[in-house]
Amino acid sequence: MKKLLIVLAIVVIGFLVLDKFKDEEIDSVSENEIIIGAVNPLTGEATPYGDEVVNVVKMVLEEVNASGGVNGKTVKVLWEDGKCTGKDGAQAAQKLINVDKVKIMLVGCSMEVLGIAPITEKREVIVFSTLATNPDIKNSGDFVFRSTPSDSSQGRVLAEYANNHYKKVGLITEQTDYALGVANTFVEHFLGDIVREDYLSSESDFKTRITKLKGANVDVLFLGAQTPTKAEIIIKQLQEQNWNKPIIANDALIGIPELPRKYSEFFNKVTLVGANFVAPPGPELESFIEKYKAEYNKEPLYLSYAASTFDGINMILKIFNEVEDLDDTHAVRDAFYNIKDFKGLLGNISMDEYGEVNITHSLFKFDGEDFVPLKE
């Protein structure tokens, strides 16, 4: 009996020593890493946005880590799928905060940001988005930042264009934070009449809505989809319904020329105008595109969001180099607010008191092959 007790005691002590060794090993590894949590759409219709973020962040960090990292530490990203929804985004954020103990989070879609912000604000965790554009994000918290311009800029620019050309708009928009952010700002600034058709993301048949808008004899259609997938479904049905009025679209459609190119015959008959934020041409942009092509054998799908992601991850790395204690999220937050004239692909970037960047949207018209600047 005594021998059995001795053996059991040795086994227990052995497990305790092993656990202590494991803890020390984990601690030693974590001391040599800087962890970023990431919640982005990795599955679903919004996957193209998430893929762009993953590709750009991976490309930048591979180069940074190969050069010694940040102050000798490797920068590592823990990716979680927020599926471009508030619910899934919040669940992913809870895991990153409670299990992985992250202090800074790279978050994607507007719905993900707005779903996560109430959680991260209470825990004083930094949220930085390179995709989210909904105007409500401006007031979502003191620890929330983004490298993309607000849709209040996009909606206003589109409304100003419409005010100069049309008196009656047919508006068909998805009921998501991003799509509604653009559409509602447009409605706020448009001076004419609006016939509005909001649809759920689960919908795929728009024939009745299109027929109603045709019957209302609108001058132009405002198309506000959440994703290129949904935009294409609507375009196909517009074509089938012989739509012949001009179209104004948010950047889910005009952000990738490949989509309207597929329907160039239709858009040669129907004028397509949209608003987007763009990276000005220059050697820095050319170098970025060449590196992306070398890494992934293709050009960025959404060049605007690829550029904002490149700028965003580099702003984060700048903060990592400047702040001594990255667990002090108040110091990290203040450093983000102090960003002034940061030289990025989108221009010289500064943060305002809301964590918003000084980037705005411009008008573009599709010429059958590409989107060209439209001067009003």
Query: CB–CB of 109/131 below 8 Å?
Result: yes
Query: Do 132 and 204 fall into the same domain?
Result: no
At 232-261, the pLDDT tens digits run: 999 999 999 999 999 999 998 988 888 999
The encoded tokens of residue 99 equal 């299990």
Strands 272-276 and 342-344, by their bridges, are unpaired
What separation in angstroms does the CA of 132 have from each of 146, 177, 179?
Answer: 7, 9, 11
The pLDDT of residue 30: 64
Output helix, strand, coil percentages for the chain, rounded to the nearest 5: 50, 20, 30
Half-sphere exposure in the Cβ direction for 282 (13 Å, CA)? 10
User: For residue 292, is it within any domain?
Assistant: yes
Query: Do 209 and 290 fall into the same domain?
Result: no
Query: Do 139 and 221 fall into the same domain?
Result: no
Query: Do 67 and 165 fall into the same domain?
Result: no
The pLDDT of residue 19: 45
Query: Do 292 and 269 fall into the same domain?
Result: no
The encoded tokens of residue 258 equal 């490949």
Query: Do 126 and 162 fall into the same domain?
Result: no
Query: Do 169 and 235 fall into the same domain?
Result: yes
String of DSSP letters for 118-177: HHHHHHT-EEEESS---GGGGGS-TTEEESSPPHHHHHHHHHHHHHHH-SEEEEEEESSH
Query: Do 90 and 170 fall into the same domain?
Result: no
Query: Do 297 and 250 fall into the same domain?
Result: no
pLDDT of 184 above 80: yes
Query: Do 261 and 305 fall into the same domain?
Result: no
Query: CB–CB of 180/197 below 8 Å?
Result: no
Average pLDDT of span 169-183: 95
Q: Give 44's contacts (C-beta < 8 A, 6+ positions apart).
A: 83, 84
Query: Do 166 and 252 fall into the same domain?
Result: yes
Query: Do 166 and 243 fall into the same domain?
Result: yes
At 314-368, the pLDDT tens digits run: 999 999 999 999 999 999 999 999 999 999 999 999 999 999 999 999 999 999 8
pLDDT of 25 above 80: no
Name the residue range of residue 74's domain. 32-149+281-345
Per-chain mean pLDDT for the chain: 91
pTM of the model: 0.85
Number of folded domains that form the chain: 2
> What does the alpha-carbon distance between residue 164 and residue 70 come to, in Å, rounded to a whole number?
51
The pLDDT of residue 24: 39
User: For residue 22, is it within any domain?
Assistant: no
Q: What CATH number does the domain containing 133 carry?
A: 3.40.50.2300
User: For residue 161, is it within any domain?
Assistant: yes
User: For residue 91, is it within any domain?
Assistant: yes
What separation in angstroms does the CA of 258 have from each of 156, 252, 339, 366, 370?
Answer: 26, 12, 35, 11, 9
